[in-house]
Amino acid sequence: MNLTDPSVIRRLLGREDFHLKKSLGQNFLIDETVCPRMAELACAPETGVLEIGPGIGVLTAELAKRAKKVVAVELDTHLRPILSETLAPYKNASVVFGDVLKLDLARLLSESFSDCASITICANLPYYITSPVLMRLLESHLPIASITVMVQKEAAERLCAPVGSRSAGAITVAVSYYCKPKICFEVDRTSFMPPPNVDSAVIHLELLPSAPVELEDEAFFFRFVQACFAHRRKTLCNSVSSALGLDKQALAFALQSLGLPLTVRAEALSLDQLAALSNRFKRD
């Protein structure tokens, strides 16, 4: 069954009286070249793959052909009969129905993939939850080797931007702290049914074996970084003091001691400088 053929998708959905839900980001891939490329990035024969949002199983099938095992988490239980049919040929693929933002992922991974040599994550992410999903995957310290995801093109550029560049945001800092990021290829909006209003890109995040900077308190670092980028038009000093209630003079002194001007904005700081500042305030 060709799951990227629009007439096949319409037949499968129509038979179950399934209506696509914009609110769940249900744009299904109809470009047959995309899923094999994503699966090649995410799989090795001994890998266990966690997929988020299988839809009708188009990516799941390509993952199952290349990995040892695939577990897909889908929120919409109305897709159950369709997935039972489309994934029937793949005995190494299963679906867990639930919200990826609420499930105990550490437990799911340890229960599902104890016999796999490594674990990766692969998804055509529902765009309305791109940042919360990625932050959850990264901050949970899951035992994963990589994350290969399709996201909105602008989000891909931000996620993979160098820290210290104009495109950087709080999520860029998180990605650089945990991973080596790379934009792999772009996907046009016409590759989906229905087409979304934006183009997409597939990114590959390779998890780093150890943190690139030393932090006194990781949770505080991420709160501090959120505060730095909270008001992009404000200086870092004003943004952090209003968001965290830190003393402006102490912030000015800390910036000065790093050789940074008082007017500096968050986007100009390197990962080392952000870590040094946050460590400084954690100690005080």
Q: Interface with ligand SAM by CB under 6 A: which residues?
A: 24-29, 52-55, 58-59, 73-76, 99-101, 124, 126, 129
The answer to whether 264 touches 255, Cβ cutoff 8 Å, is yes
Amino acid at 273: Q
Q: Considering the complex, what minimum distance in angstroms separates the CB of residue 38 from ligand SAM?
A: 9
Q: Which of 56, 64, 182 is nearest to 124 (CA)?
A: 56
Please identify, using beta-carbon distances, which residue of 53 and 164 lies nearer to ligand SAM. Answer: 53
Q: Considering the complex, what minimum distance in angstroms separates the CB of residue 54 from ligand SAM?
A: 5
Please identify, using beta-carbon distances, which residue of 25 and 164 lies nearer to ligand SAM. Answer: 25
Please identify, using beta-carbon distances, which residue of 196 and 212 lies nearer to ligand SAM. Answer: 196
Q: Considering the complex, what minimum distance in angstroms separates the CB of residue 44 from ligand SAM?
A: 21
- Alpha carbons 121 and 135: distance in angstroms, whole number: 13
Q: Considering the complex, what minimum distance in angstroms separates the CB of residue 218 from ligand SAM?
A: 25
Please identify, using beta-carbon distances, which residue of 59 and 93 lies nearer to ligand SAM. Answer: 59
The answer to whether 179 touches 190, Cβ cutoff 8 Å, is no
- Alpha carbons 204 and 106: distance in angstroms, whole number: 21
For the chain, what is the radius of gyration of the CA atoms?
21
- Alpha carbons 264 and 174: distance in angstroms, whole number: 20
Q: Considering the complex, what minimum distance in angstroms separates the CB of residue 78 from ligand SAM?
A: 9
3-state secondary structure of 177: helix
Q: Indicate the residue whose CB is closest to ligand SAM.
A: 53
Q: Considering the complex, what minimum distance in angstroms separates the CB of residue 165 from ligand SAM?
A: 28
Q: Which of 164, 161, 154 is nearest to 181 (CA)?
A: 161
Please identify, using beta-carbon distances, which residue of 136 and 282 lies nearer to ligand SAM. Answer: 136
Helix axes 170-178, 130-139, angle to 10 degrees: 40
Please identify, using beta-carbon distances, which residue of 136 and 231 lies nearer to ligand SAM. Answer: 136
- Alpha carbons 66 and 174: distance in angstroms, whole number: 30
Q: Considering the complex, what minimum distance in angstroms separates the CB of residue 133 from ligand SAM?
A: 8
How many residues belong to the chain?
284
- Alpha carbons 32 and 237: distance in angstroms, whole number: 49
DSSP output for 59-74? HHHHHHHHSSEEEEEE
Please identify, using beta-carbon distances, which residue of 95 and 254 lies nearer to ligand SAM. Answer: 95
Tokens 């404000």: give the residue. 234
